[in-house]
Structures are given as structure tokens and as C-alpha cells.
Chains A and B, each alone.
Chain A
Amino acid sequence: MSGVLSIANLRLCRGEREILRGVNADVRAGELVALMGLSGGGKTTVLRCVAALETFEDGVIDVGGVVLRPGPAPSRNTIRELRTRVGMVFQLHYLFEHLSAMGNVTLAPMQVAHVPRAEAERRASELLEALGVAHRRNALPRELSGGEAQRVAIARAMAMEPPLLLMDEPTASLDPARRGELGETLLQLTATGRTLVVTTHDDDFARDFATRVIILAEGEVVEEGNPREVLTNPQHAATKRLLQSARSEK
């Protein structure tokens, strides 16, 4: 077994466009990997492939022993296995609008894992507590702030206790203070043995919290390594452009 996640030669086309042109990446347990790149570089698409929300043309994805291959959507059994190994937090959170924060977090444990309601709610309370949104447990998603909604979305994904958690642009809508809090939260998760793959534009966030950074440009990995080294002393032109654009945003 190669670890928590192994992506080999992942290629994905949509129509004429080749979006991923042979992405290779390995993620070990307990890592917090920052997947960086300019918009349209394919970061989100990589996460979606790992979560089997996209089919792909070529390559192999191994998620803790569950292997995804090119071609049509994987079998139901494969999907069921995959879901126990990987969870996902979306950029727009996509909380279930008709359920409270608590309802969002307990839905899957009760319906998929058949945990009794009381137990599911107890664990959900702990998660919401740990993420600092326990006081919002009865609020509907529309009543939550962006940061609160993100925490509930993380709690929802964590409730199924996946070893690997994918997060799409969690820093996008946060101010620097909130970003720090999020980083601390994610570090706590890795401390309990969780593995995280996070896409981000934010080099400061990557530098401060990621154990490794992977730079993606035009559908390929162009550089990877220790975030402090890679982001302080970029080798590839794409990484330099990325840093320039990040600086001009600030």
C-alpha cells in the first residue's frame, strides 16, 4: 500500500480541452498538502477526480487501496468503499438548506452508517464544539456566516471520519484572522491522524500550515516540496507567476 493517496499520470479531457495532462502525486498519512496553482490550472478537478465526481481519460488513482481507473463511473461497491476513505468540503460549502447545522452533520452518520440518533448527535456536538460553532447547532444554513457555514461543512465531512479529507479553496472567503483560525483547526485534524489535501491561492497560508506544497500549472505538476522552500525560492516560471499574482491580490 502506497499511503493515503496516490495519483499516477492522471489525464482528463473535456471536449477538445485537455484539463489534466498527466498529474502525479503521492500523499502520506498525517500530511497537510497544499495544492496550488492559478485559476483554471486544474486544482479543483484533481480533487473531484479523487472523490469520483469526475471520470477521467487515463491514469490511476489509489485512495487507501480503493483504485479508480479511467472510463465510465466506478461500480457501486467501489464508490461505497471510496466514501469510507475520503471526504470533501466544497468551496461553496453546499450545506443542505432544509436542515439545521446539526441536521447537516448527523444526516450521513444516521443514514449511511446507521448510527443511532442520540449517538450521532452527541458526536456531532463534539465536532461542532471542536470547530467552535456548537452555539449555532440549530441554525439553518442561510442563517450562518460564511466562516460558520465552512466549519459546519467541515464538521459534516468529518462526521463520517474519513482518513483523507479534501478541501476546495477553504481560504477563499476568509479574512487573515479567520484564515489563521482555519489553519490551526486543520493542524489539529492532522494531529489526530487525519490527512488533508487543500487547494488554495494563498501562499502565506500554505507556508504557515502546509507540510508540503504541490504546484499545478496547465494540468501538470510543475514543482513540489517543502512550502517554505518552494514558495520562497520558486524554480518554475509558473510558480513565480503564481506568487506574483498572489502578492498583487494582497
Chain B
Amino acid sequence: MRAIRRSAFLVLAVVFATVTWAQTPILHWGGDAEGGAPFVEADPNDPSNLRGFDVEVAGEIARGLGRRPEFVQVSFSDIDQSVQRGDFDIGMSGVEDTPARRKMLAATIPYFEFHEVLTVRAEDRGKFATLAALRGRRVGTLGGTIAYEKLLAAQMTDGVICVSYDDDVHPYADLRAGRLDAVLLDNIIAARSMRRVPGLYTEPQPVATSHYIGVLATTNTALRDQINGILQARMADGTLERIYRKWKIWDDYQPAFFASVLHAEKAVPQHEKKTAEGVATQDLGIVLRYIPALLRASLITIVLSCAAMALAVLVGVFIASGRVYGSAPVRAILTMYVEVVRGTPVLLQLFVLYYGLSSVIRLPAFLAALLGLGLNYAAYESEIYRGALEAVPRGQLEAARTLGLTESQVLRLVRGPQAFRIALAPMTNDFVALLKDSSLVSVITVIELTKQTSIFAANIGSWVIPGILCAALYLVLSLPLSRLAGRLEMRWKAATE
């Protein structure tokens, strides 16, 4: 009887705890688990669980607020936009303290100090200790970061070549592979990468110093102020130090940094009054400053698209001819190529070409992009040409043969020209699609129009103007093309009916 009563009590306690837990308000915090350790990473022992110092800091903030932390996955470059539109309460996974961010969002006090450091190959140790020493060299970093801004500035002053990546792992792999001569990134990331990639060396002299902050929507200043109080308290009572030591990121700079934060009277960031009208009040100057970069990126887009299309047409014609005229084994091989290429994502193909093959052949990024898009579209083009070739009436081919034309002359003079007219409309379609698909190559460090736009948007904290500019540029590129094709089609269409 007593046992029953005890278990009933236990059940009640569990139910009560569950209900309380469920009723606890939630602090939604956004971060990018792809950023990995020591910021946020999936626990190797239990991938549904997250760990990292940002996870623990977020946990401390939630506890201080009497809330339960809940993680929201968001791509690193989208944290600002996402918090502003209310996807979560606070964004924090290595979010850097920048003036633009402070202007656009409600930022917390900084909670960690880091340094931008140069990592080089071990054999280059001491050779590239400063950005000035890297004139004419390729230096990689993560796009949309302070390090990226720093490199862009150095591109002007010191003549370094800035290479932007979408993640912070591949720059170090490319450094080792020789595609880069240095990587400029946060010391935490550099230290982590040195453990992963052998043969690298990080120069001790920091290039710049900055801090990690949390970001909240501009309307959320009350919560931000509460969070500031909690962060200060955790700095003062040693909780943050304990977390940082646990994740081995506590260094000699932190005590002075903590002291400066704690001694700053009521750390309220200065840029307070920013509200929703922020977008409207953007400096026209900033927008104008980005226009040359956008135009340059458009040029990359158009050159890449044209070259890739030319390659696609060439290879497509070859494949189509092989599939129509070739022997059985040739046909089988070409069919397999078409099926494999069409059946797998172009993104994957780009990764394989650029990173996967880098141990065998180190393709420059632009060439890899050109090959990736060109060979991918060749599969689609070949299907169009094959259909078009087969649409030319057999009788015309026989008529040409009875006149004494050889098979290659029949293809070149009779079948090909008519097939081309049939293929023109779908080809134009494909070219316009390719123009837009060319935005995918930013994953292998080619900065084209869309990527430049997203950098632009990240820097000014709004997609409105960059988005409109970008769309306008794409239309300027694609509309004349459609018009031209339309006109040719009108002229030829009836001829093939």
C-alpha cells in the first residue's frame, strides 16, 4: 500500500515537473550549428544535442531570464535578418560587433574578445606576418565578416587578393592545398583549424581585435537590457570564465576585456534610437559605394554564363551526335553521363569538382565554376539537340543522301541547321536558367551577382535595395537575350513546321 502511495507520489511529481517545464517560457536563440565547435556544434555522442560555449552562454542567459533555451538553426549570414523578422529572440553564434550591426539591430554588450589572425602554411612562417606582406597574394576568409571587410580594405591599400568563402572550413583546406597563401579569421577558428589541418601556422600578431555580441530585433531593447545585466553578472561571478576555460578559449586578453566591460557604467550601447525606419534612412552613400561592385559581379555572371553556355552547347552537340549516330557502347556511355549529371544536384557537382578533386587536380575557382556549370548544362542541351535532330523528317535525310551528300554533310548541311532552329527556343530557356544558376558558384568562392548582393545586404542590414538592384541587373542581362531569341524564332519557326 505504501509502495503504491509512493509511486503515485512519484508520478505526480514527474507530471508536475513536466507541466512546469512545459509552462516555462522559452528563450528562442538562433545560431548556425554548421559553425561547429567551439561555438555551436552537434554533440558527437548525441547529435540531437548541441554543445559549445555559445550554447552555454545562451543557457546562462535563459536561466537568468527564468526561461528555457531553445535553439533555432539559421544560416550564419542570415542571423541579422532572421532576428529582425522575429524568427528568434536573440542571435548569437560568433556574431561580430560591427557598427552596421549596432546601427541595424539591438546589440548586447560584448561577451568575448577575439582577434583576427593570419594563418599561413607552416613553411611560410614569418613570411606573411602582416597584410602588407601579402601583396598580390590570395587571402581567404569567411564572407560578410569583419575579416572580410578588413581584406577588402587591404585589397585597396595593400594589393592583397581577397577570396570569400561561405564557410570557415574550406579556406584552411585551400590554404593547405596551395589555392591560398593565407587565411584571415578569428583566432578561435584559426586555432580549431590548426588542429584539423596539419602543416599550418598562425602568426601571433593580431591584425584586428573585435568582440562577439548577441543581437536582438530593434524593438526588443527591454529584453536586451535584461540580457546585458545577466551577462555582466556572469562575467563578475566567474561563470563566463569557467565556460571559456572549459572550451579552451580563455586567454590573456579576456581579464582586461571583462574588466573594461564591467567598469563601463551601465553598458548600454550608444546606437539606441534605430527603429524600423532604419532601412529608409540608409545612407545613399553606402548604396552608391556598392554599385561598382555589383556591376563587376554582373560582369562575372555574364562572362561565366556565356562561357559555360558555349561549353554546354559544344559538349551537348557532341553528346547528341554520339547518341544519334554512335555505336551501342558510345550511346550507352553518353546516356549514362546524361542520366548521372541530370540526376544529381549541380551544387554537389561543383563541390566535387572544386574540393573533391583538389587532391588530383587543383582547378582555379572560375575554371571549376565554368566546367561545373558547362558540363552540367551540356547534359540538358544534349537532350534538346537529340530531340531536335530526331525531329528533322527522315525523308529529308534520304533526299540529301540520294543527292550524294555524305553522312557528315547531311548532318552539317541539312539536319544540323534545321535541328538548330527547332532547338533555339528551349536553348534560350536554358541560357536564362543558367544565368540564374550561375549564382550557385559562390559556394566555390566565385563572387558573382547574387553573392555580391547578399554581401551588400548583410553589410547594410537590408535586402530591399540590394534585392531590387540585383533583380534589375539580372533582367537587364536576360531580357535582351529572350528578345533576340524570340525574333530569330519568329523568322525560323514556320520554316520547320
Please give the residue numbers on chain A whose beta carbons come within 8 Å of chain B beta carbons, in ascending order: 51, 53, 76, 80, 83-84, 86-88, 90, 92, 94-98, 107-108, 111-113, 140, 142, 153, 156-157, 160
Contact = CB atoms under 8 A, between A and B. Distances in A.
A94 B495 contact: no
A90 B397 CA distance: 12
Contact of B393 (A86, A87, A94, A111): A94
Contact of B398 (A80, A94, A113): A94
Given A98-B417, A156-B403, A160-B403, A111 B409 contact: yes
Interface residues of B, number: 23
Contacts of A113: 404
Given A97-B418, A98-B418, A157 B496 contact: no
Contact of B402 (A53, A92, A97, A107): A53
Interface string B384-427: 00000000010110111111111001000110011001000000
24 contacts: A51-B402, A53-B398, A80-B404, A83-B402, A83-B404, A84-B404, A86-B402, A87-B403, A94-B399, A95-B396, A95-B399, A96-B396, A96-B399, A96-B400, A97-B396, A98-B417, A98-B418, A98-B496, A108-B403, A111-B405, A111-B409, A111-B413, A112-B404, A160-B404
A9 B439 CA distance: 67
A85 to B, nearest CB: 10
B288 interface: no
Contacts, number: 68
B494 interface: yes
A94 B405 contact: no
B196 to A, nearest CB: 60
B377 to A, nearest CB: 25
Given A95-B396, A142-B495, 12 more contacts: A53-B398, A76-B406, A88-B402, A90-B399, A94-B395, A95-B399, A96-B400, A97-B418, A97-B495, A97-B496, A107-B403, A140-B495
Contacts of A97: 396, 418, 495-496
B417 to A, nearest CB: 5
A96 B412 CA distance: 13
Contacts of B401: 53
Contacts of B403: 83, 87, 107-108, 112, 156-157, 160
B372 to A, nearest CB: 34
A107 B404 CA distance: 10
Given A142-B494, A142-B497, A96 B414 contact: yes
Contacts of B409: 111-112
A111 B473 CA distance: 46
B462 to A, nearest CB: 52
